[in-house]
């Protein structure tokens, strides 16, 4: 027997404000992350770091879409449209990461050692899970599928950060130039799955059900 209860209107407003703050923090971090990753990737000729920087810009798009939704008077009205934006962001990320990974494998791109890239991706592996967990919890309680979908996008960024970090370390330590490209293909497959779920509105089945039940 479920013990969950529908949150009060005041509690929902508190959760919506919390989501806005989390999304704002995510956007700010990803803007800095994108700038540093793109610069470091260009300096080291690293396709993985450049892809990571572009992923950060997609993460900003996703977070900005949720932030915009929660500035509306009735955020629930914009749920489906915002989910579609997040889904498209997932698909765009999958296409780019796949293309860049295949290109790196077929042309045997060997990136230079990048201490900045290693530090940046290591920081992201630590920071992103906290942001994702906080947004997911608030989104589930508030009954927001878009907030939960965006938290999944943030978690995907964590996986991509870990993949790029492993690739950079293996390349630096052992000369395994292909490691980050192979990991990128795995992340791309995950991005497609998350994109399909967001497009269908399946990103938060429990929360959506709670909203529907509250209408009866």
Using pLDDT thresholds of 50, 70 and 90, give the confidence band for residue 35. Answer: very high
pTM (2 d.p.): 0.70
For residue 204, the model assigns a pLDDT of 39
- Judged by phi (left if over 0) then psi (alpha if -120 to 50, else beta), residue 201 lies in left
Given this model, what pLDDT does residue 32 score?
93
Distances (CA, A) of 34 to 40, 80, 213: 10, 28, 41
Whether the per-residue pLDDT at 2 is higher than 50: the answer is no
CB atoms within 10 A of CB 9: 8
Q: Using one digit for the tens of pLDDT, what is the confidence trace for 10-32?
A: 888 888 888 888 888 888 898 99
**Contact (Cβ atoms closer than 8 angstroms) between residue 55 and residue 118:** no
* Better-predicted residue by pLDDT, 59 or 193: 193
- The radius of gyration of the chain's CA atoms, rounded to the nearest angstrom, is 18
Confidence check: pLDDT of 202 > 60: no
Tokens of 123: 């920081």
């Amino acid at each position: 027997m479920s013990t969950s209860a529908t949150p009060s209107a005041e509690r929902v407003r508190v959760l919506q404000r919390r989501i806005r703050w989390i999304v704002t923090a995510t956007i700010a971090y990803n803007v800095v992350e994108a700038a540093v990753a793109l610069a470091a990737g260009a300096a080291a000729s690293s396709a993985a770091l450049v892809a990571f920087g572009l992923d950060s810009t997609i993460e900003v798009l996703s977070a900005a879409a949720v932030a915009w939704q929660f500035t509306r008077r009735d955020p629930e009205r914009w749920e489906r449209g915002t989910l579609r934006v997040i889904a498209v962001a997932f698909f765009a990320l999958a296409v780019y990461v796949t293309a860049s990974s295949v290109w790196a494998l077929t042309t045997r791109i060997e990136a230079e050692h990048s201490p900045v890239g290693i530090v940046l991706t290591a920081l992201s592996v630590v920071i992103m899970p906290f942001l994702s967990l906080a947004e997911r919890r608030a989104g589930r309680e508030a009954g927001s599928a878009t907030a939960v979908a965006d938290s999944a996008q943030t978690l995907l960024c964590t996986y991509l950060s870990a993949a790029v970090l492993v690739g950079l370390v293996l390349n630096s330590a052992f000369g395994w130039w292909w490691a980050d490209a192979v990991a990128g293909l795995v992340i791309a497959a995950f991005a497609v799955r998350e994109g399909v779920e967001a497009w269908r509105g399946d990103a938060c089945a429990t929360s959506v059900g709670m909203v529907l039940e509250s209408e009866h």
